[in-house]
Chains A and B, each alone.
Chain A
Amino acid sequence: MSDLLSLLGLGSAGLLAQRSGVAVATNNAANVNTVGYSRQRVDLHAEIGAPEVGGVSTGNPHRIADDLLANRERDAAGDLGLSKAVSQSLLDLEQSVAGTGPTLDQQIANVFGRLNTASATPLDDNLRSAALTAARDLVSGINQRAAATQAIRSEFDARVRDAAKTATGLAADLAKTNDALQAKDDPVLRDRRDQDAKQLAAIVGGSARIDPDGQMRFVLEGGAVLVDGTRAAQVQATTDPTTHFAKVEIVDGTARRDVTGNLQRGEMAGYLQARDQDGAQAANSLDQLASDLATSVNAIHSANAGTDGVTGRNLFTPLAGVAGAAAALRLDPTVAADPRKLALAGPGAGAGDNAGARALVALKDSRIAAGGTRTLGDAAIDLVQVIGTGAARAKDDSARDTALTDSLATLRNSVSGVDLDEELANLSRFQHASEAMTKFVSTVDSLLGSIINGL
């Protein structure tokens, strides 16, 4: 009778084990669409001492995941975050600098074209007005692009600030998950931690490792520790009083560390690159173009004369310097108000002379921009082409990083992904075993009943 009772215990343990298998298969199937979920498996272990006291036992379900692969996914997320942010930002920058109307090079060509036409009949007020209108349009185009470039750099700055907030939240979540894992090693918590770390890497780059105590440590490029076990630092975007843009600091208690120049990967690095490198370069190039234009044109214009024979007038209001030139560029109000003051005549020549106009027109072919290496038109084309080249490269980088991420996702899915067919087969297997165990317990119970009733 004692043997039968052991068999009943064996049957009961078997029933529990198979039901555990059913539960895990059902849980896997339920999470088939859960992002970051790793399928779980329950392992059955035969007990020693069969057939009298053997049977089956099961431990906690464990997740099927590859930590090395998770590391590679985090790295790839950082690269993809960077290339996507750069790609999108440069497209935005390109649209801001290119503008929606005529391009800058087109406006420059229009100014020189109108001046050349006016040079044929310098006393024609309509043609003088047309040349002035073209110059006014060019000034307006440069002013608008300066404003648009500043606005898009501010937008990149806002993206940096938003990313800092998101990163702080994710770091805090990651530390909390580390804490929860200390209390209970739950596969779902591990999935969540991997997912948080991947999202964090997509934003700030960096790398994560799991220490022997099972705690994850997240370190940024340059060595700043963002998450150390249950402790999370904050990613703060504080306004730099010099640039008025945000600098990125890692704040841990009272300790602050500026990591703005250290971030190499992740979308935050992409926005910083767009703001501080590409955006700044575009703004500087625009300023240089405006300064070169004003300086060279004024030099010619002031040396020549209007129809009144007066020399010494500038076409553009003189600029204080290169910095901020694009925003400050203006037509000289005296000339702007009176087309006859446009200096198309040579000094001392008659009103119908066009030496001044010819000298101005000749500027279009002179290498007076970009340190004397480019014409004004070429410099305007270069301004957009450089951004376009960067955007095209970033798009290629993004496509490459997307392909790598997709490939890693495929690998991860092959290891950790839930397959409904597989889970249904497991469910069926455990269900049949469970039914068999139920039948077995029922039979033993019946035998026990017969014995007890026969006593």
Chain B
Amino acid sequence: MRITGSHLIDLATTATSRAQERVADAAGVLSSGKRVELASQDPTAWAAGRRAADRAALSSARGDAIDATRTRLSETDRALGTIGGIVETARSLAIQGANDTLDATARAALGNQMQQLFREALGAANTQTSDGEYVLAGSRSDVAPFDAAGAYAGDAGVRTVETAEGVTQSLSVPGSALTAAAGVDVLPALSALATALSTNNPAGIQAALASLDTAGKQVSRARGDGGSSLAALDSVDQARSGFEVQLAKQLQAAVDADPIAAASEFARSSQVLEGAQSVAVRVISLVRPRQ
């Protein structure tokens, strides 16, 4: 085949130009650390990277939801703990008040103490989170769930939250757990004891004592439910962290450059460029007209 000098120069120029493009590409990958930034660079890898990134973003948002739920459950646990403690104290006062040796004055003093405990229990049952939500109100959490008499105005709504892909968990304890629907009306039972003590009513004290036994179990059960939810939440949050690490690896595998491969490609392409440049210089000197 007949090869002209000018064609040799064209070939050398084209080869140098392509080698420069290759070096530029390799330098871009090496400096950015990204193998795929546009879908056109590797459509399948780009899409896999996007899916991993989106799943990671959703998982991170679930993390925020878990944090908010954990705060709410902790508030709930604190409130139930307070109520549970008060119920225990109330039982002691009831036993004390049921003693036949006690006179009306002594019972009235216990009644005053019990009134104070009832108000504390009522306050705990109407606990609000920092954003003003009542933790023991079920779904009617924008209004105080228990009135002054301790009657429940909330509902039995349980909040369900997505905590992992395809996993939703019931993560709240409604105030209905403290009502007759679950045993006895806990707060009215406390109130009834206070009244019985104040009015020197031994029969009423005995009746309240029986109710408080049930109330204590109810509060414990409700607290246990909340605790289980918290434990489950911690467990799912831990799994979430591991899941996000996996997603980060998937994203990395899809679109990130392997540093060693990128550095090798840069070195190789640089060598190719140097070779192409040497050839171009040699070709130009070969085909240059001699004097």
**Which residues of chain A have a CB within 8 Å of any CB of chain B?**
32-33, 90-91, 94-95, 98, 103, 105-106, 108-110, 112-114, 116-117, 119-121, 123-127, 307, 345-346, 349-354, 358, 361, 364-365, 377-378, 381-382, 384-385, 387-389, 391-392, 395, 406, 409-410, 413-415, 417-422, 424
Residues of B within 8 A of A90 (CB): 40
Question: Is the Cβ of B58 less than 8 Å from the Cβ of A364?
Answer: yes
Q: How many A-B residue pairs have CB under 8 A?
A: 184
CB atoms of B38 and A413 under 8 A apart: no
Picked from A105, A127, A345, A350, the residue with its CB within 8 Å of the CB of B137 is A350
Contact between chains at B43 and A125 (CB < 8 Å)? no
A90–B6 CA distance with the chains assembled, in angstroms = 35
- Tell me if A418 and B38 are in contact (CB < 8 A): no
Seed contacts A106-B50, A113-B61, A120-B69; 14 additional CB < 8 Å A-B pairs: A98-B38, A103-B50, A121-B133, A123-B141, A349-B139, A350-B154, A352-B137, A352-B157, A388-B38, A388-B39, A392-B41, A414-B7, A421-B289, A424-B289
Q: What is the minimal beta-carbon distance from A398 to any residue of chain B, in angstroms?
A: 12
- Beyond A123-B133, A307-B142, whether A414 also contacts B40 by CB under 8 A is no
In the bound complex, CA of A258 to CA of B131 (Å): 67
Residues of A within 8 A of B129 (CB): 121
Please report the C-alpha to C-alpha distance between residue A353 and residue B5 in the assembled complex, in whole angstroms: 82
Pair A116/B58 contact, Cβ less than 8 Å: yes
Interface assignment of B118: CB less than 8 Å from any CB of chain A = no
Q: Is the CB of B72 within 8 A of A112?
A: no
Check A32–B6 contact: CB distance below 8 A: yes
Most buried by A among B2, B47, B162, B171: B162
25 contacting pairs across A/B (C-beta < 8 A): A106-B50, A106-B53, A113-B57, A117-B65, A119-B162, A120-B72, A123-B131, A124-B133, A307-B142, A350-B155, A350-B157, A351-B139, A352-B140, A352-B142, A354-B160, A364-B58, A365-B166, A381-B50, A388-B41, A388-B43, A392-B40, A414-B3, A414-B7, A415-B2, A418-B4
CA distance A381 to B39 in the complex (A): 9
Most chain B CB atoms below 10 A, which of A121, A125, A353, A384:
A121
Q: Does B267 contact A (CB under 8 A)?
A: no
User: Which residues of chain A have C-beta atoms less than 8 A from B14's C-beta?
Assistant: 406
Chain B window 1-23, contacts with chain A (Cβ cutoff 8 Å), 1 for yes, 0 for no: 11111110011001000000000
Q: Is the CB of A110 within 8 A of B57?
A: yes
Residues of B within 8 A of A114 (CB): 61
> Closest CB of chain B to A358's CB: distance in Å?
6
Partner of B7, one of A125, A354, A385, A417: A417
> Could you say which of A106, A112, A117, A414 contacts B2, with CB atoms under 8 Å apart?
A414
Chain A CB within 10 Å — which of B41, B61, B129, B131 has the most? B61
Contact of B51 with A by CB under 8 A = yes
* Known pairs A32-B6, A123-B142; A352 contacts B159 (CB<8 A): yes
B58 x A120 contact (CB < 8 A)? no
Q: How far is the CA of A417 from the CA of B7 in the complex (A)?
A: 8
Selected contact of B162 from candidates A91, A353, A358, A389, CB within 8 Å: A358
Distance in Å from the Cβ of B138 to the closest Cβ of chain A?
7
> In the bound complex, do residue B131 and residue A117 qualify as a contact, i.e. CB atoms below 8 Å apart?
no
- Tell me the bound Cα distance from A168 to B192 in angstroms: 101
Closest 8 CB pairs of A and B: A388-B39, A113-B61, A352-B141, A350-B140, A353-B139, A350-B139, A391-B40, A419-B4
Q: In this assembly, does B228 line the interface, its C-beta being within 8 Å of a C-beta of chain A? A: no
Kindly list chain A residues whose C-beta atoms are within 8 Å of the C-beta of B7. 410, 413-414, 417
CB–CB B5/A421 < 8 A: yes
Chain B residues with Cβ below 8 Å from A418 are: 4, 6
Q: Given the complex, which residues of B lie within 8 Å of A124, measured CB to CB?
A: 68, 131, 133
Interface flags for B65-102 (1: CB within 8 Å of A; 0: not) read 11011001000000000000000000000000000000
A351 touches B141 (CB 8 A): yes
B54 touches A106 (CB 8 A): yes
Cβ of A346: which chain B residues have Cβ within 8 Å of it? 139
Partner of B65, one of A120, A385, A417: A120
In the assembled complex, the Cα of A377 lies from the Cα of B57 at a distance in Å of 12
B57-A119 in contact (CB<8A): no
Tally B residues with Cβ within 8 Å of A.
57
Task: Check B46–A385 contact: CB distance below 8 A.
Answer: yes
When chains A and B are docked, how far (Å) is the Cα of A350 from the Cα of B4?
87
Question: Is B168 close to A, CB under 8 A?
Answer: yes
Q: Chain A residues near B241 (CB, 8 Å)?
A: none
Per-position contact with A for B162-178: 1 when CB-CB < 8 Å, else 0? Answer: 10001010010000000
Question: Chain A residues with Cβ under 8 A from B289's Cβ?
Answer: 420-421, 424
A419-B6 CB under 8 A given contacts A105-B50, A117-B68, A352-B133: yes
Chain A residues, Cβ within 8 Å of B55 = 109
Taking CB atoms, residues of chain A closer than 8 Å to B142 are: 123, 307, 350-352
- Contact present for B138 and A105 (CB under 8 Å): no
Complex: A91 Cα to B2 Cα, angstroms: 39
Which residues of the partner chain A approach B5 to less than 8 Å between Cβ atoms?
Answer: 419-421
Q: List B contacts of A409 (CB < 8 A).
A: 10
Decide yes or no whether B147 CB sits under 8 A from chain A: no
- Name which residue of chain A comes closest to B53, CB basis: A106
Q: Give the distance in Å from the alpha carbon of A381 to the alpha carbon of B1 in the complex.
A: 51
User: By the criterion CB–CB under 8 Å, are A387 and B141 in contact?
Assistant: no
List A contacts of B139 (CB < 8 A).
Answer: 345-346, 349-353
Contact B65 A94 (CB under 8 A): no
Q: Are B40 and A388 within 8 A (Cβ)?
A: yes
Q: Is the CB of A123 within 8 A of B140?
A: no
CA distance A418 to B289 in the complex (A): 13
With a CB–CB cut-off of 8 A, which chain B residues contact A126? 131
Counting CB contacts under 8 A, is B184 at the interface? no
Which one of A91, A119, A395, A415 lies within 8 Å of B161 (CB-CB)?
A: A119
Contact A116 B141 (CB under 8 A): no
Closest CB of chain A to B247's CB: distance in Å? 12
CA distance A424 to B66 in the complex (A): 85
What's the minimum C-beta distance from A384 to chain B, rounded to whole angstroms? 5
The answer to whether A113 touches B58, judged by C-beta atoms less than 8 angstroms apart, is yes
Docked-complex contact A388 and B162, CB < 8 angstroms: no
Return the contact of A377 from the options B41, B46, B54, B62 (Cβ within 8 A): B54
* In contact, A392 and B54 (Cβ under 8 angstroms): no
Whether A94 pairs with B40 at a CB distance below 8 angstroms is yes
> Contact mask B276-291 → A, CB, 8 Å, 1/0?
0000000000010100
